Amino acid sequence: MANPDVAQVSSLPLPPMQYINLFTDENIKMKRVPRPPPPIHDSYNMFGHTFNADDTIIRSLESQGIKRLYPQHFDRRKELRKLNHSLLVNFLDLLDTLVLCPDSPKRTEKVDDLSLLFFHIHHLLNEFRPHQARETLRVMMELQKQQRNETAIRFQKHLDKVLEIINTALHNLPDSSDGENSMSVNTELFDNIDSLSNDSADRDIYTELDKQMCEIVDAL
């Protein structure tokens, strides 16, 4: 019977929701979210292998304890093609060994040869990673340049359209002479209105005087 006091530790990481639930708005406000892990300065384990933080990104085969099958200076395409052919030949040999004599020590030898070939193929592919990164960055920069050029062209088209609308509006505005004529017409209209109001006031005064004179005459 297993000891119930022994804690069960999983070799796999926790599900993502176990981490996401910790980053709530309240935890972020109260600064109770988990701190990021500190940077590694010495060594670490990954995929069952120990790596040093000071190691180069692509280590040489000799530093990994692997026997080199090709020279220092070579054509990577040709070597990859040769390694691929050797891999197929060794795999067929391994199949023959498994069919004819499964317990032969040659089986282990062929498995080791296949592992060595896979190591070399993997190493050559990793050496292409910097070139791949540069090409990926170049493509991204070209795409950004194209997008910015298209955005600039669209802005220029909108600017030309706005300038055309402004020029059309300015062209359709009335001239200054027409404005002066309209102002003079409006002034004459106001003058006529004032004169009419004054005449009506005078007529009201005269009518009242006439009425009083008539009353005086009637009283005599």
Radius of gyration of the chain (CA): 49
Which of residues 189 and 64 earns the better pLDDT score?
Answer: 64
Structural contact between residues 110 and 93, judged by C-beta atoms closer than 8 angstroms = yes
Angle at 183 between CA 179 and CA 184, to 5 degrees: 120
Q: What is the 3-state secondary structure (H, E, C) of 186-209?
A: HHHHHHHHHHHHHHHHHHHHHHHH
pLDDT band for 210, please (50, 70, 90 cuts). low
pTM assigned to the model: 0.49
Q: What is the 3-state secondary structure (H, E, C) of 65-96?
A: CCCCCCCCCCCHHHHHHHHHHHHHHHHHHHHH
For 115, residues 6+ apart whose C-beta sits below 8 A from its C-beta are: none
Residue 98 has pLDDT above 50, yes or no: yes
For the chain, how many residues are written? Answer: 220
pLDDT by residue (tens digit) across 106-116? 888 999 999 99
pLDDT band for 161, please (50, 70, 90 cuts). very high
Q: Where are the chain's structural domains? A: 22-127
Residue 30 tokens read as 């109260």
